[in-house]
């Protein structure tokens, strides 16, 4: 159990049936009345951020978030399958949990699954991936004053905006958090 007086940034706690990560906190000692802890909490499962105040003596159980590297195997239409490369156990996750997380991930690439009490609630792709351009219009020089971009489709089917010099068959380094082109490989 962790008391509100011991809060630190990044700590995960369970409160009201939800799992929260402390984004920021502040100990407040008003001139009149009792001290309290003002916090900004991020709901780990839904991603929502709330602000709450607690008495410093309130206690909360610490939530243990497990991150596990797994290999993305395939999608059969309803479920996305992942395999633990140490035990070879396979897990199928629904599209509602995946969202856009696999937008830049190919089959057999490694991802990180995030779970709490054995229940997986999110999948994180690697921060950077290298993908090949499979569809791209030729870039036209001329009518641009600054860095112009054009849409290209990479091997996972995602569209990335790239500079005009990128061509069909080029390998690109992409930031999966923003979906931005970083460089040619």
pLDDT score, position 137: 83
pLDDT in tens, 127-145: 898 989 888 887 676 656 5
Cα–Cα nearest to 7, from 29, 38, 35: 38
pLDDT score, position 144: 60
Rounded to 10 degrees, the C-alpha dihedral 89/90/94/96 comes to 60
CA-based torsion, 91, 76, 70, 96: positive or negative: negative
**CATH domain 65-124 topology:** OB fold (Dihydrolipoamide Acetyltransferase, E2P) (2.40.50)
Q: Scan for tokens 């797994």, then name that residue.
A: 70
Which pLDDT band holds residue 101 (cuts at 50, 70, 90)?
A: confident
Domains 2-60 and 65-124 belong to one CATH topology: no
**Per-domain boundaries in the chain:** 2-60, 65-124, 128-184
CATH number for the domain whose boundaries are 2-60: 2.30.30.30
Mean pLDDT of 163-174: 87
Mean pLDDT of 97-117: 85
Beta strands in 56-99 (DSSP E): 59-60, 65-75, 79-84, 90-94
Q: Scan for tokens 């569809």, then name that residue.
A: 135
The tokens of 106 are what?
A: 């190919």
The tokens of 52 are what?
A: 């709450």
Mean pLDDT of 36-58: 89
Please list the helix, strand and coil fractions of the chain in percent, rounded to the nearest 5, in that order.
5, 55, 45
pLDDT score, position 114: 85
Q: Select from 2.40.50.140, 1.20.1050.10, 3.50.50.60, 3.30.300.130 the CATH code of 128-184.
A: 2.40.50.140
Rounded to 10 degrees, the C-alpha dihedral 102/103/106/109 comes to -40
pLDDT in tens, 3-33: 888 898 888 898 888 888 899 999 989 888 8
The tokens of 90 are what?
A: 């396979």
């Amino acid at each position: 159990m962790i008391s509100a007086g011991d809060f630190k940034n990044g700590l995960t706690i369970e409160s009201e049936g939800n799992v929260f990560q402390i984004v920021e906190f502040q100990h407040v000692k008003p001139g009149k009345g009792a001290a309290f802890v003002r916090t900004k909490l991020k709901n780990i499962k839904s991603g929502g951020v709330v602000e709450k105040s607690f008495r410093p003596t309130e206690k909360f159980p610490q939530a243990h978030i497990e991150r596990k590297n797994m290999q993305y195997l395939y999608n059969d239409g309803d479920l996305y399958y992942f395999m633990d490369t140490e035990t070879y156990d396979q897990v199928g996750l629904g599209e509602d949990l995946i969202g856009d997380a696999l937008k830049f991930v190919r089959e057999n690439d490694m991802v990180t699954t995030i779970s709490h009490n054995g229940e997986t609630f999110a999948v994180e792709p690697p921060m950077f991936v290298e993908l090949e351009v499979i569809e791209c219009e030729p870039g036209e020089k001329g009518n641009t004053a600054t860095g112009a971009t054009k849409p290209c489709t990479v091997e996972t089917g995602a569209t990335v905006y790239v500079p005009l010099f990128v061509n069909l068959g080029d390998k690109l380094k992409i930031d999966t958090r923003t979906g931005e082109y970083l460089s040619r490989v």
